[in-house]
């Protein structure tokens, strides 16, 4: 009873705090001068992290097994992973603002009435009573957290550069090629005869436009780094899962719906990593691939659970 009450308190505290954190982030987007508010949001996310950590530990002690056995527990662990990536020191200001709603969404859904039936801890099914549980599930959920965060940064690139036209003033037949500095937007070259009209309509030479280009490059750089880390976690998770499957079911790979979509996810992000290293495809094109991966992950992680079919059905909405 004590553990159940403590779990309930920690769950709602973490959800309430992260809601306040997101509100603060939205305010700081409009008013950058309020430094104190941003510092408060960072402290709030730290509080959220420790609350979720306490929730996982409490669940672990109460159930006598690692809290990775059902959708509710995996969502809590996913929120924990999101909070870690949010607190990465280099992901400051607007980058952390992009990631913060992920914690609210997963934590809010985990505590919603839709998962009431599986809030109570149950005895592990025989297939989950293995030392591979911690290795496989933790790596997979951490990979989902990293890949989703990195993909969100790529989605942000597409949103910012959507139908953007940068006009560059130059002499007739002698244009200034600055596409390497501003490689994330369409560049339209014009001649000096239209200089007067262009300077009235464009902010290319303004600080705001320069800041935008720097911000886009920062999004691309950190999106690539986080996705690379998530790809490593995903690879380890799939390999450890194959070994575990061989021990439990006598086969390394069964083309179970979860396994199939995990392979599709791995393939999508492998393609992204290749396109990201290609000078001709990096930027918007590689971001499109990562954005596609964002939706593929949710199908792999969440969509299969909605159906509740296959060998991984024990992680669905209805507890077995």
Q: What is the DSSP string of 80-116?
A: HHHHHHHT-TTS-THHHHHHHHHHHHHHHHHTSGGGG
Average pLDDT on 75-88 reads 83
- Between 169 and 99, the more confident residue is 99
What integer pLDDT is reported at residue 32 of this predicted model? Answer: 58
Residue 288 makes CB contacts below 8 A (sequence gap 6+) with: 154, 158
**The pLDDT of residue 1:** 58
User: What stretches of 170-313 adopt beta strand conformation (E)?
Assistant: 186-190
Does position 88 have pLDDT exceeding 80, yes or no?
Answer: no
The string of DSSP codes covering 49-90 is HHHHHHHHHHHHHHHTS-S-SSHHHHHHHHHHHHHHHHT-TT
In angstroms and rounded to an integer, the radius of gyration of the C-alpha atoms of the chain is 23
Mean pLDDT of all residues in 242-270? 88
Which pTM does this prediction carry?
0.75
**How far, in whole angstroms, is CA 301 from its chain's centroid?**
13
Instruction: Tell me which of 193 and 166 has the higher pLDDT.
Output: 193
More confident residue, 304 or 139: 139
Q: To the nearest whole percent, how much of the chain has pLDDT over 70?
A: 63
- Calpha distance 76→103 (Å, rounded): 9
Q: How sure is the predictor about 90, in pLDDT bands with cuts at 50, 70 and 90?
A: low
The pLDDT, as a whole number, for residue 51 is 85
- Among the ranges given (60-64, 107-111, 233-237, 252-256), the one the predictor scored with the smallest mean pLDDT: 107-111
CA pair distance 193, 170, nearest whole angstrom = 9
Query: What's the pLDDT at 131?
Result: 80
Kindly report the backbone phi and psi dihedral angles of residue 42, in degrees, each rounded to the nearest multiple of 5, phi listed first. -65, -40
Q: pLDDT value at position 268?
A: 95
Of the two residues 63 and 121, the one the predictor is more confident about is 63
pLDDT digits (tens, 9 = 90+) for 172-227: 444 443 443 344 444 344 444 544 454 444 444 444 566 677 778 888 888 899 99
**Phi-psi category of 174—alpha, beta or left, where left has phi over 0 and alpha has psi -120 to 50?**
beta
Q: What is the mean pLDDT of the chain?
A: 73
pLDDT at 315: 55
* pLDDT tier for residue 171 given thresholds of 50, 70 and 90: very low
Alpha-carbon dihedral sign for residues 181, 183, 187, 191? positive
- Quote the pLDDT of residue 313: 61
Residue 312: predicted pLDDT: 64
CA gap 265, 174 in Å, rounded = 46
């Amino acid at each position: 009873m004590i553990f159940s009450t403590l779990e309930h308190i920690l769950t709602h505290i973490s959800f309430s705090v992260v809601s306040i954190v997101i509100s603060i982030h939205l305010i700081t987007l409009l008013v950058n001068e309020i430094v104190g508010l941003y510092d408060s949001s960072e402290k709030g996310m730290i509080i959220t992290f420790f609350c979720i950590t306490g929730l996982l530990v409490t669940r672990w002690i109460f159930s006598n097994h690692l809290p990775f056995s059902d959708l509710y527990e995996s969502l809590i662990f996913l929120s924990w992973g999101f909070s870690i990536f949010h607190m990465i020191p280099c992901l400051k200001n607007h980058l952390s603002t992009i990631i913060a709603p992920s914690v609210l969404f997963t934590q809010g859904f985990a505590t919603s009435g839709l998962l009431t039936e599986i809030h109570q801890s149950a005895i592990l099914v025989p297939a989950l009573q293995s030392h591979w549980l911690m290795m496989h599930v933790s790596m997979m959920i951490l990979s989902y957290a990293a890949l989703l965060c990195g993909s969100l940064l790529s989605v942000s690139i597409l949103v910012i550069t959507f139908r953007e036209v940068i006009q560059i003033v130059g002499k007739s037949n002698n244009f200034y090629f600055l596409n390497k500095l501003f490689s994330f937007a369409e560049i339209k070259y014009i001649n000096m005869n239209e200089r007067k009209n262009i300077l009235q309509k464009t902010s290319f030479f303004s600080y705001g436009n320069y800041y935008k280009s720097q911000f886009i490059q920062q999004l691309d750089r950190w999106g690539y780094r986080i996705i690379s880390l998530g790809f490593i976690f995903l690879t380890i998770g799939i390999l450890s899962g194959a070994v575990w499957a061989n021990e439990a079911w006598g086969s390394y790979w069964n083309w179970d719906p979860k396994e199939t979509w995990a392979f599709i996810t791995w393939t999508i992000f492998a393609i992204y990593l290749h396109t990201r290293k290609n000078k001709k495809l990096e930027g918007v094109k590689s971001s499109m691939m990562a954005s596609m991966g964002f939706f593929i992950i949710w199908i792999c992680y969440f969509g299969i659970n909605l159906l509740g079919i296959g060998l991984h059905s024990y992680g669905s909405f209805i507890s077995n």
